[in-house]
């Protein structure tokens, strides 16, 4: 399937690495966050450029544009303007409706 055929890129990827860190004691926050950051950095030589937007809960603004790429983001924003102009479905990694 051609990359531009769908909103989500990287459909030809054979693997995905998702780093999930969970812990109960808030006193361990910095130690655990540091481990996650180091693990992420260590994986970078084996990754493509880009990311799957739904795996990044805090993604917003330009980071979301980066996930889709400029052309797809604009196409999705146009679709959003047509089908959800008031951005009812916004409690996610939101694409705001395009102002046309």
- Cβ(80)–Cβ(98) below 8 Å: yes
Would the pLDDT of 100 be above 60? no
The label of the residue with tokens 């409706």 reads 97
By residue count, the chain amounts to 100
- Cβ(72)–Cβ(4) below 8 Å: yes
Q: Measured at the alpha carbon of residue 51, what is the angle toward residues 11 and 56, in degrees to the nearest 5?
A: 125
pLDDT, tens digit, for every residue of 31-82?
999 999 999 999 999 887 777 888 877 777 888 888 888 889 899 999 999 9
């Amino acid at each position: 399937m051609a990359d531009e055929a769908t909103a989500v890129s990287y459909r030809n990827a054979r693997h995905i690495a998702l780093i999930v860190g969970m812990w109960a004691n808030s006193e361990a926050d910095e130690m655990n966050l540091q481990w996650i950051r180091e693990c992420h950095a260590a994986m970078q030589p084996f990754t493509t450029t880009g990311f799957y937007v739904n795996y990044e809960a805090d993604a917003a603004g330009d980071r979301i544009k980066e996930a889709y790429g400029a052309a797809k983001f604009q196409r999705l924003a146009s679709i959003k303007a047509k089908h959800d102009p008031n951005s009812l479905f916004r409690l996610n990694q939101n694409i705001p409706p395009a102002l046309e």
